[in-house]
Amino acid sequence: MAGKAAIVGGSVGGLFAAHALRNIGWEIAVYERAEGDLAARGAGLGTHQDLFEIMQRLGIAVDERTGIAVGSRVCLARSGDVLKEIPFQERKSSWATIWRALRRALPDDCFNQGKDFAALETGANGAVAHFADGTTVTADLLVGADGNRSTVRERLLPQVQPRYCGYVAWRALIPENGARLYDRYAFSMPDGGSAVSYPVPGRDGDIVPGRRSINFLWYHPASEAEVRDMSTDETGHCHGMAIPPPLIRKDVVANLLREAADQLPPQHLDLLRAEPQPFFQAIYDLECDRLAFGRAVLLGDAAFVARPHVGAGVTKAALDTHGLADALRAHGDDIASALASYERERLKIGKRMVARARRLGAFIEFHRSPDFKRPDTMQQADELLYEHGADIRSVAEFWA
């Protein structure tokens, strides 16, 4: 059966779903809440071979502009000396680069912005999506691809909420300036956390050396109370667990830079100091026990949120959509069986990905616990170098 699909969410997961379903003959329409160019969102991201293979299968161009080849990983001591370096072939990209490639290949009349999803009805024969502007859309399948704060998931599984993991990621995305580590994936080990930097395409997608960007993250322990204080602006208004970067108080950034001077190697400290507006995101994880609900289905971050240490959020969304399209094609007119098959396979992988990310982030999450035993320096360096962001095909625990 080639039916009609309404896809809620115009981010990377929603666009992958649109292409995958169009590829098997479905009529699709994407509904995105935000107006404007979504490519302004996001920062750097890790890629995997599966991501590029799926893009190529969908007819999306993959070439040297899709990312920046990195040939080694290094772990830096606080002095700036290299503790260990390993060969590691990978390609680093940016959220904007992948989103633009997907969006350019999708007809404009399939992509609807300013559509704030409000509610749905789903049953054995179809689904109806209701939007805040009063419009309704009837479809054979509704795909919830609206991210980690999914409204679709909230309507279907209100009891499932993201769980704060006890730390934040301070981030910087700065223009490349030719420093010595920029062609490498560089880790360091500040107290109770970790930091990483790597080259990504520039803000306009440029991959020419000297015109690229550097993505920097510092995973930093912080209690919920501390995050709420960090999310309180100069007027005293608390924005919850997140705050628009321009509203972050100057004293919060000043405290961060003081800590950085004590804990980061010079290469990472220089990156953070070069960012005029460091920003942070609270780290969450989330897992669902169901993905299919009549004629509605969840995928990508709407279904599972794994901490960034796995480095596979976009790749997982691509694999989810590939699995959904394969199941629909294999089961023909029996959409219920197709969704049951999709749910069975993707639940298994999603849960394993969340579990691995929890293991990799445990030393940050439990850093302040009285029972915490910090791994020795070289043990932690090896885990960072070999396991964080490892290509998912090489991770046996995903496929056992």
Q: How far apart are the first and last CA of the chain?
A: 32
Is there a single domain that holds both residue 31 and residue 149?
yes
Is there a single domain that holds both residue 154 and residue 167?
no
Is there a single domain that holds both residue 121 and residue 260?
no
| Residue 1, CB-side half-sphere exposure with 13 Å CA sphere | 16
Whether residue 18 is contained in a domain is answered as: yes
pLDDT tier at 400, thresholds 50, 70, 90:
low
Whether residue 376 is contained in a domain is answered as: no
Domain boundary among 283, 309, 333: 283
pLDDT score at 175: 87
pLDDT score at 184: 82
Residue the block writes with tokens 């080990």: 189
pLDDT tier at 267, thresholds 50, 70, 90:
very high
Is there a single domain that holds both residue 356 and residue 342?
yes
Is there a single domain that holds both residue 139 and residue 227?
no
pLDDT score at 334: 95
Distance CA(231)–CA(40), nearest Å, equals: 22
Helix 12-23 with 313-331: angle, nearest 10 deg: 30
Is there a single domain that holds both residue 319 and residue 202?
no
Largest CA distance in the chain: 63
More confident residue, 205 or 50: 50
Is there a single domain that holds both residue 45 and residue 112?
yes
Whether residue 366 is contained in a domain is answered as: no
Is there a single domain that holds both residue 25 and residue 142?
yes
Is there a single domain that holds both residue 72 and residue 204?
yes
pLDDT at position 153 over 90: yes
Distance CA(145)–CA(265), nearest Å, equals: 39
Distance CA(342)–CA(286), nearest Å, equals: 19
pLDDT at position 107 over 60: yes
Domain boundary among 283, 318, 347: 283
Give residue 250's domain range. 64-91+163-283
For the chain, what is the domain count?
Answer: 2
Q: Is the separation of the CB atoms in 290 and 342 below 8 Å?
A: no
What CATH number is given to the structural domain containing 268? 3.30.9.60
pLDDT at position 345 over 90: yes
Average pLDDT value for residue range 346-369: 91
Under DSSP, is residue 347 helix (H, G, I), strand (E, B) or coil? helix
- Give the lowest-confidence range in 16-30, 167-181, 215-229, 295-309: 167-181
Average pLDDT value for residue range 341-366: 95
Whether residue 295 is contained in a domain is answered as: yes
Distance CA(106)–CA(55), nearest Å, equals: 13
Is there a single domain that holds both residue 184 and residue 234?
yes
Residue the block writes with tokens 């399939």: 110
Whether residue 122 is contained in a domain is answered as: yes
Is there a single domain that holds both residue 222 and residue 107?
no
pLDDT score at 296: 98
pLDDT score at 211: 84
pLDDT score at 38: 81
Helix (H) or strand (E) holding 325: helix 313-331
pLDDT score at 181: 59
Domain boundary among 283, 313, 329: 283
Whether residue 193 is contained in a domain is answered as: yes
The tens digit of pLDDT for each residue in 113-132 reads 999 999 999 998 999 999 99
Is there a single domain that holds both residue 318 and residue 174?
no
